């Protein structure tokens, strides 16, 4: 239910729409962006990186909305709106399966935390989307499998990826 409030919030914010990627919707939001003005260089850099990673990983053919949140002030604002501001731990993205909406914390793409490369953030949210799953362990397994596949099938050290051979 809380995501409904978020959608309303996004609609009244400075939300910019890009041409759709396949039949998905991509937009970005920032408390600091004024309607009719160009996006900040930071926001554009985050958007470009996100688009690149999105196209590198399995993603829905149509009907999904991706919203890049350009700065952390706006991200905290969005988290408060959806009642997640008090959640423990860092949030890099949020996916709402029912409403087909994924939020991405843009600053974590261009200024990655140690051990959390941008592709991991995008692959993780896309695994939520493609598996229609909220099971974090299952989603992480899928995300790591995709990442290993993208990098030539060599799993990153310390990450266990199961390979199933043909029967
Ligand atoms: Zn998750």
Q: What is the pLDDT of residue 87?
A: 76
129 C-alpha to center of ligand 1: Å?
10
52 alpha carbon – ligand 1 mean position (Å)? 20
Which domains are seen in the chain, by residue range?
Answer: 2-114 (3.40.30)
CA–centroid distance, 18 to ligand 1, in Å, is 25
User: Nearest CA to 15 among 62, 81, 66?
Assistant: 66
Calpha distance 36→72 (Å, rounded): 22
Side-chain half-sphere of 122: how many Cα atoms within 13 Å? Answer: 27
97-110 pLDDT, tens digit each: 998 999 999 999 99
pLDDT < 50 regions, the chain: 1, 12, 158-167
Residue 31: predicted pLDDT:
82
CA–CA separation, 119 vs 107, rounded Å? 13
Nearest-angstrom CA–CA distance, 9 and 25: 17
The pTM score is 0.80
Q: Tell how far the Cα of 105 is from the centroid of ligand 1, in angstroms.
A: 13
């Amino acid at each position: 239910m809380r995501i409904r409030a978020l959608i309303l919030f996004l609609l009244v914010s400075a939300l910019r729409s890009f041409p759709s990627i396949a039949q998905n919707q991509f937009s970005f939001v920032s408390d600091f962006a004024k309607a009719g003005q160009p996006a900040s260089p930071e926001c554009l850099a985050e958007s470009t990186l996100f688009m690149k990673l999105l196209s590198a990983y399995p993603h829905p053919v149509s009907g999904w909305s991706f919203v890049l949140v350009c700065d952390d002030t706006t991200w905290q604002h969005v988290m408060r709106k959806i009642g997640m501001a008090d959640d423990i731990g860092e949030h890099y993205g949020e996916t709402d399966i029912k409403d087909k909406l994924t939020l991405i914390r843009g600053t974590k793409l261009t200024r990655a935390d140690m051990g959390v490369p941008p592709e991991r953030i995008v692959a993780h949210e896309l695994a939520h989307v493609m598996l229609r799953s909220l099971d974090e362990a299952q989603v992480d397994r899928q995300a790591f499998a995709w990442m290993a596949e993208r990098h030539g099938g060599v799993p990153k050290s310390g990450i266990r990826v199961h390979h199933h051979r043909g029967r």
